Amino acid sequence: MINRRKFCTLTAGALLLGKMTPSWAAQSGSHELRLSHNLTTDHSVHKAMTMMGERVAELTNGAVRVRIYPGAQLGTQRESVELVQRGILDMAKTNASELEAFDPVYSVLNVPYLFTSRDHFYQTMTGDIGRKIFQASRSRGFEGVTFYDSGARSFYATRPIRTPDDLYNMKVRVQPSATAIAMTQLLRASPTPLSFGELYTALQQGVVDAAENNPTALVTARHGEVARFFTLDEHTRVPDMLVISTATLERLSSAHRDALYQAAHESMIFQKGVWENASEQAVATAKAEMGVEFIDVDQALFADRTRPLRNEIASQSAQSEKVIQDIERLSV
């Protein structure tokens, strides 16, 4: 059941979109695709999606254009995906953690230590495995267009975390993901789902002791001011995901769909380089200007504690088991 707040947000988004010319009715053969995300306009993913919009307009001689609504104007990531499912919104940026609530196959991308390196992650996501995952949710009203690098997620806290035992009874902010919650529990910490916007104050006031994210959060959200210890355990590589309504895809010609996928792929490559530079700069800034200590750890200790979660997700369905096995084979 949709609660009152969510109903109001979805209704407001639908009304805002409803005031505009439908994307399939602008003029014969032309489409304006509305895209929602919750990031700022200086984020590498926003820049990549802007580049995608410019590129698809170029490839289609202006017949397909992308109009971006940043900063959660149309609701949270989950609410935007729900609008996409219903065909009210064309596209939305979300992430694999949010998507596992819509289709269990996305849980695989949240399995701790499944990806052994950044190269292994890209090899998976840009190949047949990634394409199958993108298309798995087609029957649920949407599918993946491309992914964007969101780095390796690690723990950062108000006190040092050097081994899994240091997480005992720590209150850790996690995303609203069953997999993230289960991982934190296996590490004997206390998972605390909390909106990202509330996290700075929660760390500052001791509502939570720690969080998990990539290093850019230390700088862009200023978390390094209140959490001075960043543990390089790199437990997951959860990609940002760009999804599109299947209703929208059906209205596009095959040529326009191909152009959109090409533009999206090129934007992913563009964002890969921008993200790498942003991550390196964030680490340097966090060290020099915030005094954050980066702690190298034995990642195998954390991986051993969380291994039961990989086995559990693999046992949930034959599809999940096969995807996990295929990803593991790529790392050999």
Unique residue bearing structure tokens 């701790």: 112
Residue 253's alpha-carbon distances to 60, 63, 257, 277, in angstroms, are 11, 11, 6, 37
- Work out the burial of residue 216: count CB atoms within 10 Å of its CB; fewer than 13 is exposed, 13-18 middle, 19 or more buried: buried
Helix, strand, coil fractions of the chain, as percent rounded to 5: 50, 15, 30
Q: Are residues 171 and 314 in the same domain?
A: yes
Q: Are residues 312 and 195 in the same domain?
A: yes
- Expressed as residue numbers, the domain containing 188 is 153-237+279-330
Q: Are residues 307 and 249 in the same domain?
A: no
Q: Are residues 175 and 230 in the same domain?
A: yes
User: According to the model, what pLDDT value does residue 21 have?
Assistant: 46
pLDDT per residue rounded down to tens, the chain (332 residues):
345 445 455 555 555 555 444 444 444 478 999 999 988 898 899 999 999 999 999 999 999 999 999 999 999 889 999 999 999 999 999 999 889 889 888 999 999 999 999 999 999 999 999 999 999 999 999 999 999 999 999 999 999 999 999 999 999 999 888 899 999 999 999 999 888 889 999 999 999 999 999 999 999 899 999 999 999 999 999 999 999 999 999 999 999 999 999 999 999 999 999 999 999 999 999 999 999 999 999 999 999 999 999 999 999 889 899 999 999 999 76
Domain presence at residue 113:
no
Show the tokens assigned to 47.
Answer: 């820049």
Rounded distance between C-alpha atoms, residue 206 and residue 212, angstroms: 16
Quickly count: other Cβ atoms within 10 Å of residue 197's Cβ: 10
Quickly count: other Cβ atoms within 10 Å of residue 71's Cβ: 12
Rounded distance between C-alpha atoms, residue 285 and residue 290, angstroms: 7
- Work out the burial of residue 311: count CB atoms within 10 Å of its CB; fewer than 13 is exposed, 13-18 middle, 19 or more buried: exposed
CATH number at residue 96: 3.40.190.170
Q: Do β-strands 64-69 and 31-36 pair in parallel, antiparallel, or remain unpaired?
A: parallel
Q: Are residues 135 and 165 in the same domain?
A: no
Sign of the alpha-carbon torsion through 94, 36, 9, 247: negative
Show the tokens assigned to 74.
Answer: 């149309």
- Indicate the SS3 state at residue 129: helix
Question: What residues contact 232, with CB distance under 8 A and at least 6 apart?
Answer: 154, 294, 295, 296, 297
Using only C-alpha atoms, what is the Rg of the chain?
A: 20
Q: Are residues 137 and 173 in the same domain?
A: no
- Work out the burial of residue 331: count CB atoms within 10 Å of its CB; fewer than 13 is exposed, 13-18 middle, 19 or more buried: middle
Is residue 172 within 8 A of residue 208, CB to CB? The reply is: yes
Unique residue bearing structure tokens 């209205």: 251
Domain presence at residue 37:
yes
Q: Are residues 199 and 326 in the same domain?
A: yes
| Total tally of structural domains belonging to the chain | 2
Go through the chain and tell me how many residues it has: 332
Domain presence at residue 14:
yes
Q: Are residues 46 and 126 in the same domain?
A: yes
pTM: 0.86
Identify the CA nearest to 13 among candidates 68, 71, 72.
72
User: According to the model, what pLDDT value does residue 176 have?
Assistant: 81
Q: Are residues 134 and 169 in the same domain?
A: no
Domain presence at residue 164:
yes
Identify the CA nearest to 208 among candidates 164, 166, 158, 161.
158
User: According to the model, what pLDDT value does residue 30 have?
Assistant: 86
Q: Are residues 190 and 258 in the same domain?
A: no
The CA-to-CA distance between both ends of the chain, in Å, stands at 45
Q: Are residues 127 and 201 in the same domain?
A: no
User: According to the model, what pLDDT value does residue 13 have?
Assistant: 53
Q: Are residues 286 and 171 in the same domain?
A: yes
- Work out the burial of residue 244: count CB atoms within 10 Å of its CB; fewer than 13 is exposed, 13-18 middle, 19 or more buried: buried
User: According to the model, what pLDDT value does residue 42 have?
Assistant: 86
User: According to the model, what pLDDT value does residue 23 have?
Assistant: 47
Domain presence at residue 78:
yes
Show the tokens assigned to 162.
Answer: 């050097």
Between vectors from CA 127 to CA 102 and to CA 274, what angle results, nearest 5°?
Answer: 85
Domain presence at residue 319:
yes
User: According to the model, what pLDDT value does residue 8 have?
Assistant: 52
Number of H helices, E strands in the chain: 13, 11
Domain presence at residue 112:
no
Domain presence at residue 71:
yes
Is residue 43 within 8 A of residue 71, CB to CB? The reply is: no
